[in-house]
Every structure is written in C-alpha cells, then in structure tokens.
C-alpha cells in the first residue's frame, strides 16, 4: 500500500513541476491532447525528484547518522513533506475557488482522444503482459525468462541491496567493496518500492510499465507534431516494437532453399542474425524488457525533445531559403540569444538528474539536442541545458565513482566486420533495414522542419560508429536503438502518405509496413517462445540461504562466492567479491585481478597464503558449493575448512559458508 501511495505522490508532485515546464508551450492549443505529454512527464519528473530526495536523506541517515534502516527515515520525510505540500497547495486552490486539475486544458481534440485512448489502452495491456511474462512471482518462486535473466541478475541484486540491505554508500553487488560505476537509481526505486511493501515483481514491473508506456505516449505525440498524422504516431510505436532488418529475409531464403522453412520457424527458439551479436537480441524489443531503465531514460529524453521542438520550429519557420537560411542559423543574434533560459535550465536539471537512471539515454538525448541546435534559434538555451546536464552528471560521478565514469576513445566501425564507410553502411542496413539509410530518399519529400529533425535523430548513430565510452563496445547499441526509436516517425509518415494515394499507393504502404516489421515480428515470436514456462530461470523467494545472508551480513561484509549470475545468494542483496564477471567488467571494473585472487583462495594449499589473501582483499565470508569450479579451476575446501569456522550449512548440505573474521 505504501508503495502505491509513493507512486501517486510522485505523479502529483511531478504534475506541478510539469505545469511550469509546459507553460506557453507552442503546441498548446494546436490540436494536441497534451494529456499524453503531461501524464508521462508528471510520472517521470516526480519520480526523478522524489526518489533522489529519498536516496539523499537515506544516505545521510546511514553514513552520517549510522541508522540501520535509513530508508525508513528517507521515505518518512519525503512522503510526509510531499503530502503536506500538496495539502497546502490544494487547500489554497480550493479557498480561491480554483480547480485542482483542469482536464479541459489538456484536451484539445475530443474526437481524436477516443482513438488515442483505445490505442494506449491496448499498449498498456501489451506492455503489462510482456513485463510480467518475463518477470513474475508464482508459487513462491521468481521466474525470469531466458532472454532477460542475464540482465536481471545485477539489477535484482542491486534492488535487494536496498530493500533487504543498507547499501549506503552504494556499492555494486557483483563487485562489492568498491564504488558503483553503473547507473543504479531505477533499481533503487524498485528496491525502495519493495521496502515499502510491494512484492519485487510488482515493484519492478509497475515502474517499467509506466516508463515504457509513458515513452510510447510522448513518441506518439512527437510523431503527430512532426508528421501531422495520428496514423504516423500509431505506426511509430508499432515500428519501434517490431524492428526492421534483413535478418528474417536472409533466414527465410536460406531455409526455403533447404526446404525446411516451416519446420525451423516452429522449432527455433533463438534470435536470428547474421551480424556480430545480433543473435543476442541487441536490436529488437527484448532490449526494452531486459533493460527496464532504458524506457525511463527515453521518457525523459522524449520530453526534452518535445519542449525543444519549440526552438526547432522557430528556427525552421524563417522565410529564408537554402544556404541563406542555413547561414542565418549561425550569423544572426536571434540564432544565438536565449529564448527561454528558465525552461532550458529546468530541462538541464531533469536530464542531469537522470544520468544515474540511464546514462546512455542522457547521452543519446544530448546528441539529438545538438542536432536540434544546429537548425534552431536560441542556441545558448541548448548550451545551458547541456552545461547543466553535464555539471550534474559530473557531480554524481564524483560522488559515486572512483576515477572516471567513462573512458572515451575513438573506435571506428562499432561491430561492423568491415570498418570502411561502405562496410559500415552495409552493416547498418543489415541491422536496421532502410530506417536510417532510406531517410536519404525521404528527405526529398520532407519539409524543412522534418529534414532538420531527421538529421538530429541521426546524431547518436554517428556517435555509435566513431566513439567508445566503456570497455564493452557492445553497449553502444543503445545509441542506435535511441536514434531508431525516433527515426521511425518518418517511416510512419511515409506509410500514411502512401496510404492516401490510390490503390497502388495502398499496396506500397502495406508492403513497406510488412518489410519494416517482419524481422521484428519474428523476433517477438522468439521472445514469447524463449520466455515461456519451459524457458525460465527460477529462484526460491522463501530460501533459508537468502534469509540467513540478509540477516547476518551487512554492507560492511564482503562474501566470496562462485561466479553466480542470479540465484538465492544474489537475491539476498549481499556484496559479492566477484559475481558473474561480465556484469562488472562491462561496467569498467578490474575483474581479472579479482578472478585471480579468488582462484588463489579457492585452490591454494598454503594456509598462510589463504589468510594473507583473504585479509588483503577484505573478504569476511567464503561460500563453498559442492563440486564448484572458479574460472574453470577445480576448487578445494579442506584448507578453508581448516582455517576458518563454519557458520552456515544449507538444508541440503550442498552450500557451506565460513566466516573469516573474529566475532566482535
């Protein structure tokens, strides 16, 4: 119940901030039902502000005040303050005979509202189904589908480190005892909701549903604003869910030639792809299911783009033509002088605070805004937003991360096998079909504002193929996904334009729609197959091991375990010396060093070396699992057993835990 109240307070507080942000928005009163903007914005901004407030108060309560359960104080103060503020605000409005919320201001086209409500109702059911399909509790077990559990492992560990533990200052559970390099605030929110009484699946899924659905709403509204068509808005959401690409067509042709197409379509449960790691599901809807925080980041980015559309439209509405118009975008005072610095400042604050919710979304959003700025008036407003965003990001990075949060370097070609320009273009066509390259043809039919927006949406793609920010270049795929999510607006517009033509145009519209979605539809079928009841990882939520760990280990403890991904140990929220190494490595941690130390501890015959290494690495508990290996090395228990006292044995005797420190 408290978790639901918390989300309601977030939305109500966010509504008041959104009213300030959306004041005098150019799209107001021009036929847009702003409820599809203000609703998601209220959730996004309110959740962002209140959750940061809870985190900061809890941090001080734990680190400075020594509280064992700091979330109690953080939630008490924030929820009480929000409630008092709202009562005071609404009481004043009632006294002055003002409406608490004027729905009339949010709705400009009642006829369109009916169709939009039906569409978003269907979208809500779809998103809810998929979130719970891949992550839910049943019969005391938490089930995670095969295509998503790998990402859920570090995410659920982080959630549980807050809901069951006291992760202040915050550490990364799969690499405990160090800083936190991974954006974790979405997981903190989910963990806090579990702390407030919601089961972990409802906590995680509820904010995931609201985030992705909210992004769909703003994406639809952007498409309506840019393309001028409700159909383009609906198709933009559809095209984003069911991605374009050549994989299915190549796959089908190969199996038509082999004569086994129908059989393989029924039996296959793996993502298809002919480029590096495409079979991981890098480009399809699965990304939004396993990276739940991406939806929240995209919601805030889409909101920023909606607001800055005022600047872009003002810049592209000038009467000059051709090069003269482009020149004026840099040589006139109007092109540079601020137009609305207050709103620009507020947007910078929102994006800056979102950096540790999803850093990739913030970077992608800034890249698109850079493209907007090229063709807009009021460029100093863009500089103000970017400056404030970077400033708040740097402040957070200094607090949470030892050293730099990113390691920027030139990296040409991304995952393309052929790093030449032609090779990159071929690769881009393989993974996204005509969505990016085909825009060159659509440019001929676009107006100036649409051309400017399309160029801006390409900026994250340019970044993807030229820069790397982490040791794992694969993570750059998010920038392509972000650009893709907005670029499909123009393909929705193209299909709708063709549909308005005679019979030949309608046929072309149908063929284009099929070609843009067929690979994504088959990917979606695979998602359903590979996350069904036969393809799920289960974790016992009533495990005595989980309970013992959460009851006996604190945030000061560090436990050495096998390289676990997601199980009863990770669900306890304890800090592991080294969990599954890919998670920590891709976030920038030195996993090779810890792996070597762990192997030494688990395999050594020298008791003094064991003690020396354990003390040096500040390991307080060692978990040994029957028949375990570490980094393909057979582990031994005899030296550990001889050196440290046994403090826990699992019910089946398979797991034993030794304490390496003396009782205080």
Torsion of CA 147, 473, 250, 510, to 10 degrees: 80
Q: Give the pLDDT confidence score for residue 319 in this predicted structure.
A: 87
Q: Give the pLDDT confidence score for residue 29 in this predicted structure.
A: 46
Residue 632, by phi and psi: left (phi above 0), alpha (psi -120 to 50) or beta? left
* Token pair for 593: 């060093």
Q: Give the pLDDT confidence score for residue 664 in this predicted structure.
A: 43
User: What is the band of 99 on the pLDDT scale with cuts at 50, 70, 90?
Assistant: confident
Residue 104 has pLDDT above 80, yes or no: no
Average pLDDT in the chain: 93
pLDDT tens-digit map of 554-592 = 989 999 999 999 999 999 999 999 999 999 998 889 999
- Cβ(206)–Cβ(193) below 8 Å: yes
Radius of gyration of the chain measured on its C-alpha atoms: 26
Q: Is 422 helix (H, G, I), strand (E, B) or coil?
A: helix
Residue 30 has pLDDT above 60, yes or no: no
Q: What is the DSSP letter of 327?
A: H
Q: Give the pLDDT confidence score for residue 403 in this predicted structure.
A: 74
pLDDT tens-digit map of 447-467 = 999 999 999 999 999 999 999
Q: Give the pLDDT confidence score for residue 549 in this predicted structure.
A: 97
User: In this structure, what are the phi and psi dihedrals at residue 576, rounded to the nearest 5 degrees?
Assistant: -90, 145
HSE value, Cβ hemisphere, 13 Å, CA-based, for 154: 28
Adjacent-strand bridge partners of 540: 141
CA dist 425 and 416 (Å) reads 9
User: What is the band of 95 on the pLDDT scale with cuts at 50, 70, 90?
Assistant: confident
Q: How much of the chain exceeds pLDDT 70, in percent?
A: 98
Q: Give the pLDDT confidence score for residue 660 in this predicted structure.
A: 96
Give the residue, 403 or 353, on which the prediction is more confident: 353
Report the pLDDT averaged over residues 162-166: 95
> Pick from 457, 523, 460, 522: which is nearest to 491 by CA?
457
Residue 97 has pLDDT above 80, yes or no: no
CA dist 116 and 111 (Å) reads 9
Transcribe 70-100 into DSSP letters: HHHHHHHHHHHHHHHHHHHHHHHHHHTT--S
Report the pLDDT averaged over residues 221-225: 96
pTM of the prediction? 0.95
Q: Give the pLDDT confidence score for residue 108 in this predicted structure.
A: 82
Distance in Å from the first CA to the final CA of the chain: 39
Q: Give the pLDDT confidence score for residue 472 in this predicted structure.
A: 80
Q: Greatest CA span in the chain, whole angstroms?
A: 85
Report the pLDDT averaged over residues 191-215: 98
Q: Give the pLDDT confidence score for residue 469 in this predicted structure.
A: 83
- Cβ(172)–Cβ(185) below 8 Å: no
Residue 662 has pLDDT above 50, yes or no: yes
How many angstroms from the chain centroid is the CA of residue 31? Answer: 31
Report the pLDDT averaged over residues 123-127: 98
Q: Which residues contact 629 (CB under 8 A, 6 or more apart)?
A: 562, 635
Q: Give rounded-to-5 percent helix, strand, coil for the chain.
A: 65, 5, 30
CA dist 121 and 126 (Å) reads 9
* Token pair for 436: 């990016």
For 652, counting Cβ atoms within 10 Å of its Cβ (0-12 exposed, 13-18 middle, 19+ buried), the class is exposed
Q: What is the total residue count of the chain?
A: 664
CA dist 664 and 649 (Å) reads 22
Q: Where are the alpha helices (DSSP H) in 259-321?
A: 261-267, 286-290, 292-316
* Token pair for 170: 């915050």
pLDDT tens-digit map of 276-321 = 999 999 999 999 999 999 999 999 999 999 999 999 999 999 888 8
CA dist 275 and 400 (Å) reads 36
CA dist 485 and 241 (Å) reads 9
CA dist 580 and 562 (Å) reads 8
Residue 378, by phi and psi: left (phi above 0), alpha (psi -120 to 50) or beta? left
Q: Give the pLDDT confidence score for residue 408 in this predicted structure.
A: 82
- Cβ(152)–Cβ(293) below 8 Å: no
CA dist 371 and 302 (Å) reads 14
Adjacent-strand bridge partners of 468: 409
pLDDT tens-digit map of 132-144 = 999 999 999 999 9
How many angstroms from the chain centroid is the CA of residue 629? Answer: 33
CA dist 438 and 509 (Å) reads 15
Q: Give the pLDDT confidence score for residue 163 in this predicted structure.
A: 96
- Cβ(48)–Cβ(11) below 8 Å: no
CA dist 91 and 614 (Å) reads 61
Q: Give the pLDDT confidence score for residue 663 in this predicted structure.
A: 60
Q: Give the pLDDT confidence score for residue 322 in this predicted structure.
A: 86
């Amino acid at each position: 119940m408290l978790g639901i109240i918390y989300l309601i307070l977030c939305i109500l507080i966010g509504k008041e901030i959104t009213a300030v942000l959306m004041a005098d928005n150019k799209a107001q009163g021009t036929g847009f039902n702003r409820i599809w903007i203000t609703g998601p914005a209220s959730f996004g901004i309110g959740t962002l502000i209140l959750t940061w407030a809870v985190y900061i108060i809890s941090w001080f309560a734990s680190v400075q005040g020594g509280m064992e359960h700091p979330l109690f104080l953080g939630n008490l103060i924030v929820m009480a303050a929000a409630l008092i503020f709202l009562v005071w605000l609404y009481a004043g409005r009632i006294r002055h005979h003002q409406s608490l919320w004027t729905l009339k201001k949010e709705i400009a086209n009642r006829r369109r509202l009916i169709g939009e409500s039906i569409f978003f109702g269907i979208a809500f059911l779809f998103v809810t189904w998929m979130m719970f399909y891949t992550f839910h509790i049943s019969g005391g077990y938490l089930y995670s589908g095969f295509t998503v559990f790998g990402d859920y492992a570090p995410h659920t560990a982080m959630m549980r480190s807050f809901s069951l533990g006291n992760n202040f200052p915050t550490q990364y559970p799969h690499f405990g005892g160090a800083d936190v390099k991974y954006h974790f605030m979405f997981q903190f929110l989910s963990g806090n909701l579990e702390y407030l009484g919601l089961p972990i699946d409802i906590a995680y899924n509820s904010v995931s549903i609201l985030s992705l659905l909210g992004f769909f709403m703003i994406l639809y509204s952007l498409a309506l604003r840019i393309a001028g068509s409700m159909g383009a808005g609906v198709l933009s959401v559809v095209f984003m869910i069911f991605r374009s690409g050549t994989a299915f067509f190549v796959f089908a042709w190969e199996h038509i030639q082999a004569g086994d197409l129908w059989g393989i379509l029924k039996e296959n449960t793996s993502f298809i792809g002919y480029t590096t790691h495409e079979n991981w599901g890098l480009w399809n809807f699965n990304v939004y299911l396993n990276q739940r925080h991406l939806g929240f980041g995209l919601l805030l980015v889409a909101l920023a783009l909606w607001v800055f559309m005022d600047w872009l439209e003002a810049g592209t509405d000038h009467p000059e033509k051709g090069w003269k118009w482009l020149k004026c975008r840099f040589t006139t005072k109007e092109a540079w002088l601020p137009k609305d610095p207050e709103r620009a400042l507020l947007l910078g604050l929102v994006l800056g605070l979102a950096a540790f919710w999803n850093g990739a979304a913030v970077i992608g959003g800034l890249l698109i805004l850079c493209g907007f700025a090229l063709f807009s008036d009021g460029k100093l407003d863009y500089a103000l937003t970017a400056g404030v965003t970077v400033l708040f990001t740097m402040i957070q990075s200094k607090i949470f991360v030892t050293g730099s949060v990113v390691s920027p370097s030139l990296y040409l070609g991304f995952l393309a096998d052929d790093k030449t320009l032609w090779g990159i273009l071929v690769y881009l066509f393989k993974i996204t079909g005509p969505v990016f390259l085909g825009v060159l043809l659509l440019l001929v039919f676009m107006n100036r504002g649409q051309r400017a927006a399309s160029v801006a949406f390409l900026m994250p793609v340019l970044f993807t193929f030229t820069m790397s920010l982490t040791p794992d270049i694969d993570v750059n795929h998010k920038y392509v996904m972000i650009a893709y999510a907005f670029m499909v607006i123009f393909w929705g517009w193209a299909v709708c334009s063709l549909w308005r033509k005679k019979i030949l145009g309608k046929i072309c519209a149908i063929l284009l729609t099929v070609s843009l979605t067929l690979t994504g539809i088959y990917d979606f079928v695979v998602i359903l197959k590979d996350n069904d009841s036969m393809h799920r990882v289960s974790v016992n939520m009533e495990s005595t091991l989980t309970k013992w760990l959460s009851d006996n280990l604190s945030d000061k403890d560090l436990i050495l375990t096998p390289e676990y991904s997601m199980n009863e140990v990770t669900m306890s929220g304890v800090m592991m010396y080294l969990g599954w190494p890919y998670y920590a490595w891709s976030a920038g941690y030195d996993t090779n060093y810890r792996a070597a130390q762990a192997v030494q501890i688990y395999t050594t015959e020298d008791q003094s070396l064991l003690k020396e290494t354990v003390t040096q690495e500040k390991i307080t508990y060692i978990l040994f699992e029957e028949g375990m290996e570490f980094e393909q090395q057979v582990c031994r228990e005899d030296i550990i057993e001889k050196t440290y006292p046994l403090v826990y044995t699992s019910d089946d005797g398979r797991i034993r835990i030794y304490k390496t420190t003396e009782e205080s």
